[in-house]
Amino acid sequence: MTAAESPSEVVARLRATFRTGRTRSLDWRTGQLTRLRDLLTESGDELADALHADLGKSRGESYRSEIDFTVREIDHTLERLAGWLEPEPAPVPAVLAGASAQTVQDPLGVVLVIAPWNYPVQLLLAPVAGALAAGNTVVAKPSELAPATSAAVARLVPRYLDTDAVAVVEGAVPETTALLAERFDHIFYTGNGTVGRIVMAAAAKHLTPVTLELGGKSPAFVDRGTDLRTVASRLVSGKFLNAGQTCVAPDYVLTDRETAPALAKALAEAVEERFGTDPSTSAEYGRIVNERHFDRLVRLLDSGRTVTGGVHDRGTKYIAPTVLADVSPNDPVMAEEIFGPVLPVLTVDGLDAAIGFINDRDKPLALYAFTTDPEVRERLLTETSSGGVGMGLPLAHLTVSDLPFGGVGESGMGNYHGRYSLETFSHRKAVLDTPLG
């Protein structure tokens, strides 16, 4: 988007491009995906610098969780896109003997992708890659709460991608509101449920389909008799990545009363092992995105008993990796998605109580289970509802491109990654061919 263009002019320009038909060809799609890959590999350091400025992310974390993650997603798509686009035959009934039936993937048109601030590269460009793979034109709206990354993306995208098919629109609430007033053919939003409802209401005026990637309080259940050192190490790695500002991070831990004290101790040891005695000096530990979120998180620290952490500094937006024990379901830390480096441990009277506790709350984006008991695994899988399930390792299911990523209920609707991105940004069109002769 140029400075002189309004949102309506941007959408009109991209729609005119789509109507030429040039975005439909496999060559155009793979060409744009290749150029997007080039952007990430050639300008990765520029993006990493921006991520450090916005979130204190280390270069290693920026590449692992954002830049290389998106490159792998593009590579997976490039390798398989031609096959995914092949028409799929369908059987026809005997009364239509001689006819043939198939489905084809039809591009939708002009897509709007609205990204959040916590993974402002990955959660913008991975959906954009899916929209381009499906043959659409795209308006990309980066988060204003990650201003350095937003500016970097706005500089880089026009250098690499077809500027008549992909536009970056920067700005805050007024610019997003103006975009949502336009008619799109699909809106893909990642963020919180409050804004998700605003997006959905705006989309309803044009009957525009939406994908909502939201969040929620993702539970982790730790069964008795598990290797607590391993469990704690994996929970700490998943929870405190990006200073806990991850939509699928374990939000709280459920375990039995006998296991809880040893687990709390193991978690404290795992924090020190990963980040040292003073995490504020660790190059691998980030910062809270802004003072508003910092203040919100500090108010949660009074819940339960602090096992480790609790230290914070508003000037640097630092909150230490914190583990809370003896937490009550009524404590402030359990009233909302934490979205920060605070991990509460709650006790329940066994598996039945854990399942009831989870089911009494909104459906989470993810559920994590640490158990060696096949029956416990099966019951958690079949008796709870969540966007995804990770047995034995948090967050890792996101890295499997052949798995759909998305929520259910309050944690979102729709999904993407790999072929599921193509399905999201396409219309599966039914075609019946009946000979005239």
Catalytic residue among 73, 247, 337, 410: 247
- CB under 8 Å to 426, separation ≥6 — which residues? 105, 106, 107, 108, 134, 135
DSSP-H helix ranges across 63-137: 68-84, 122-133
- CB under 8 Å to 143, separation ≥6 — which residues? 115, 116, 117, 120, 149, 150
3: amino acid identity, one letter: A
The DSSP element (H or E) to which 228 belongs, if any, is helix 228-240
Predicted pLDDT at 328: 97
| Entry field: residues in the chain | 437
Contact 136/122 with Cβ under 8 angstroms? no
Predicted pLDDT at 1: 59
DSSP3 helix / strand / coil % (the chain, rounded to 5): 45, 20, 35
Model's pTM, two decimal places?
Answer: 0.96
Q: Give CA–CA dist 61/54, Å, rounded.
A: 13
Contact 8/63 with Cβ under 8 angstroms? no
Mean pLDDT, consecutive 10-residue stretches, the chain (437 aa), reads 82 98 98 98 98 97 98 98 98 96 98 98 98 98 98 98 98 96 98 96 98 97 97 98 97 98 98 97 96 98 97 98 97 97 97 98 98 97 98 97 97 98 98 93
Catalytic residue among 213, 337, 410, 423: 213
Contact 350/205 with Cβ under 8 angstroms? no
Residue 247 a catalytic site member: yes
Q: Are strands 322-325 and 318-319 parallel, antiparallel or unpaired?
A: unpaired
Residue 355 CA: distances (Å) to CA of 125, 154, 253, 317, 378: 36, 45, 12, 36, 12
| DSSP bridge partners of 210 | 187
- CB under 8 Å to 334, separation ≥6 — which residues? 217, 252, 303, 327, 328, 344, 346
Predicted pLDDT at 4: 77
DSSP-based three-state secondary structure for 342: strand
Predicted pLDDT at 3: 60
Predicted pLDDT at 2: 59
Residue 111 CA: distances (Å) to CA of 129, 167, 320: 11, 11, 39
- CB under 8 Å to 55, separation ≥6 — which residues? 117, 118, 146, 242, 243, 245, 286, 287, 289
Residue 213 a catalytic site member: yes
Phi first, then psi: give them for residue 264, nearest 5 degrees.
-60, -45
No. of H helices and E strands in the chain? Answer: 15, 18
